[in-house]
Amino acid sequence: MSAIPLPGFVRTYSIAALGFGFALVGGAIALAVGIPIPWLLGALLLSLALGAFGRRPGFPDPIRDLAFLMLGYFIGSTASSEFFGSVTLWVPSVLVSIALIPMITLSSAFVIHRMTDLEPNEALLCAVPGSLPFVVAASEDMGLRTHLVILFQSIRLLSLTFALPFALGFWGVPSETTAPVALASIPQGLNPADVLILIGSLGFAVVCAVVARRLKVPAPTFIGPMMGVAVAKLGGVPLPDLPPLLLFGSQAALGWIMGARFDAIPFRDLRRMALACFVGLGVGVGVALAACAMLVWLTGLDAKELMLGLAPGAIETVTSIALDQGVDPLFVSTHQIARMLSIPLIATAMLVIGRRLLALVTKD
């Protein structure tokens, strides 16, 4: 007697549940051995390992969106009355984060262009500090080698995801903040009324994500809930904090999803361009660290916050690191959002000006 085939959605979500189980196992192992941000990095490592053998269970889009929504809610819920007193102090560093876009891009692109056969436009898009959807779309529209742009951008993201937590711990940079507000007052038990309030609050986060998508906000399922929940909390709406298990699960899901992104890396090209990838990344990070040191000296802002706020990494990743390191995630996300929103305009100008500069400075 033949087996009855499962409906498509049942099979899809059964595979997703298996993948989520693996992600939690990877996170638990990382937690046991003392790896920083264990749920994210542990899941990412296991995701990469299984992906290398073509055995990674995948996540459908609704699961991905739910993970980003939870992370956005957590970060938005850290908003407090202190935000209004602090935000004016962030103006210089926010402006620096925007000014760093052309500085990082041009310095990294110069190195990449010199060390590879990439043409100026390709080198510039490979060096843009973030906003992968924009650079991929620009590369495709211009008829460039998009797989190489994805290669450089993916290596940047993977390298920073692993390096930042260890760098913060190794340097022992002191932070003025303590555990995030979202984790500081978690209720020990949930009665039916609490459950209904949580469901309603998550429904509000979903509405924020939908509105952000309609407004074409970058990363809408993350930024929409984060901004909506933060505004509501600052307005005095008593939205509840989420149980910490949801944070750990969301970080594990994010790590698993990040691992899947690297399936598109052309490893033949990686072997050929690995040195250029890492030298270009090192130059860009060096520029960001120099700006960070300058701001610490001039403004007295927290070094950990600045390192994460100015890091040329994905907003979901660096804010997860902020939560784990006891750094103000709203400070980090504000700087990352300012950079994300500025990249399309600045990068478009650099594609016009930057390729001429590269042609001049690399001309024999």
- pLDDT tens across the length of the chain (364 residues): 444 555 666 777 888 888 889 999 999 999 999 888 889 999 999 998 888 777 788 888 888 888 889 988 988 888 877 777 777 888 889 899 999 999 999 999 999 988 988 888 889 899 988 777 778 888 888 888 888 888 888 888 888 888 888 777 655 544 444 344 334 444 445 567 777 888 888 899 999 999 999 988 878 898 899 889 988 988 888 888 888 888 888 989 988 888 887 776 767 777 788 899 999 999 999 999 999 999 988 888 888 888 888 888 778 888 888 887 788 888 888 888 888 888 888 877 777 777 777 766 665 5
pLDDT the model gives residue 243: 83
Helix, strand, coil content of the chain in percent (nearest 5): 80, 0, 20
Which residues are CB-neighbours of 56 under 8 A, at least 6 positions away? 19, 47, 50, 256, 259, 260
Q: Would you say 19 and 256 are in contact if contact means Cβ atoms under 8 Å apart?
A: yes
In-domain check, residue 77 = yes
In-domain check, residue 32 = yes
In-domain check, residue 3 = no
Residue 142: domain span:
8-361
pLDDT the model gives residue 17: 86
Q: How many domains does the chain have?
A: 1
Read off the CATH number of the domain in which 118 is found: 1.20.1530
In-domain check, residue 2 = no
Return d(Cα 353, Cα 361) in angstroms, integer: 13
3-state SS of 107-137 is HHHHHHHHHCCCCHHHHHHHHCCCCHHHHHH
Phi, psi of 34, rounded to the nearest 5 degrees: 85, 25
Return d(Cα 147, Cα 135) in angstroms, integer: 11
Longest dimension (CA), the chain: 76
Q: Would you say 101 and 342 are in contact if contact means Cβ atoms under 8 Å apart?
A: yes
pLDDT the model gives residue 361: 64
Return d(Cα 122, Cα 117) in angstroms, integer: 10
